[in-house]
Amino acid sequence: MSLLYEKTAGILEERIKNGAYEVSSRLPGEDKLAAELDISRGTLHKAIQLLETKGVLQCRPSVGNFVLKLPRTKRLYAYVTPGLSDPFHAELIRLFNMKIVDEGGSLLIDDSSHTSADEIISRLKEESVDGVVFCPRNVDKSALLKDSGIPALWLAAVPKCQTLDYIMVNDEQGMNAILNHLRDTGIKSAGYAKGVVGSLVSTRKAAFIKHAELQGLTINDKWIFEVKQDGEAGGRELFRHFISLESRPEAIVCYNDWNAIGFIEAALSYGMDIPGDLRVIGFDNLPLSEYYKVPLTTVDCHLSDFASQAHTMLSKRIEDISTDRHIHISDCSLVVRKS
């Protein structure tokens, strides 16, 4: 249920839309308006502050509150990520935007790879976004986003902030399926390869280590390697680390399909047979993975359902910013192909 000041802000917005208060006009005095609406002066002031945050009103101390623009009739969502070139985000943005278009809204997309969190938040406020999907480079900035007052949904667990909504893929489920499959097909040893620029989120690696041990697969610290470069280039660099090892595992589990494809490309160029000489597993089930020259065995994150759930969660947060925190861990499943 909306708070009284949010309902009051809605009443004022409707009056502005209907022409009762025209653009550039001054609202009635706060004492008079509060009495008319049968609310306290404090409640009215919070409603006006909310509309000022949205860019609808401008508050001029000792002068009055003025209408800057007509309230938007359609929602404006934002999607912020440090990896717009990442096919996972490209596909998720496409699916998320389909949900937004269905409701008549619009989507703002922002690349945060070279921008600080406070600059991003300032820009979101300037654009008066109704809500944001935020894929973090650094989850330590979660409190900053929470304090901004912008309804938000994080695409990761937020361990240091217990109030923000988040949605994430079930890495435990995915890794268990991968390693169970490798064990059942005779694989006895596995490594983990990750190339994600600046990522501080390591739940997938932790899940690999946990479930490799549970499945009785041999792992080695030297077989768990990471590089700073992302994507296919990162995958090729990961292969260079792999081929330099004195002893090598029978299988490599890559952080995502993007890394896996680069890894396999480098392996094929080196003259290796995939999967004859080495099994390579991805994570995400991107559209390309099925049609790649070596069809990729990978974890399907069911991105259509994921995008739908993300849209539902953020919409609910926009409608009532005061509700209890919500989290969703999305199911995934293994897709067995050739690699």
Neighbours of 152 (CB within 10 A): 26
Write down the domain spans for the chain.
Answer: 4-67, 76-169+304-330, 171-300
pLDDT in tens, 185-203: 999 999 999 987 555 557 8
pLDDT class for 150, splitting at 50, 70, 90? confident
pLDDT in tens, 38-62: 999 889 988 888 888 777 888 888 8
Q: Amino acid identity, residue 143? A: A
Q: Are 335 and 284 in contact (CB under 8 A)?
A: no
Q: Are 323 and 153 in contact (CB under 8 A)?
A: no
- What radius of gyration do the chain's Cα atoms show? 25
Q: Are 158 and 166 in contact (CB under 8 A)?
A: yes
Q: Using alpha carbons only, what angle is made at residue 6 by residues 3 and 11, rounded to the nearest 5 degrees? A: 125
Q: Is the pLDDT at 95 greater than 90, yes or no? A: yes
Q: Which CATH architecture has domain 76-169+304-330?
A: 3-Layer(aba) Sandwich (3.40)
Q: What are phi and psi of 156, to 5 degrees?
A: 180, 160
Check residue 116 and give its pLDDT: 76
Supply 277's token pair. Answer: 């000489």
pLDDT class for 282, splitting at 50, 70, 90? very high
Average the pLDDT over 157-169 and give the result: 78
Q: Is the pLDDT at 91 greater than 60, yes or no? A: yes
Q: Is the pLDDT at 160 greater than 80, yes or no? A: no
- Per CATH, the number for 171-300 is 3.40.50.2300
Q: Edge-to-edge strand order for the sheet containing 251-254?
A: 224-227, 190-195, 251-254, 279-281
> What is the number of residues in the chain?
339
pLDDT class for 159, splitting at 50, 70, 90? low
- Choices 3.30.465.10, 1.20.1440.230, 1.20.1530.20, 1.10.10.10: CATH for 4-67: 1.10.10.10
Average the pLDDT over 88-111 and give the result: 92
Q: Please provide the average confidence, as pLDDT, over all residues in the chain.
A: 89
Q: What is the pTM of this model?
A: 0.79
Q: Amino acid identity, residue 128? A: S
Most confident of 4-8, 56-60, 161-165, 288-292: 288-292
Residue with token string 């509060």: 34
Q: Do domains 4-67 and 171-300 have the same CATH topology?
A: no
Check residue 62 and give its pLDDT: 84
Lowest mean pLDDT among 3-17, 23-37, 61-75, 133-147: 133-147
H helices within the chain, ranges in order? 4-17, 30-37, 41-53, 87-102, 117-126, 142-148, 171-184, 203-214, 231-243, 257-270, 287-291, 303-319
More confident residue, 294 or 64: 294
Average the pLDDT over 13-18 and give the result: 85
Question: Which helix (H) or strand (E) segment is 329 a member of?
Answer: strand 327-330
Check residue 24 and give its pLDDT: 87
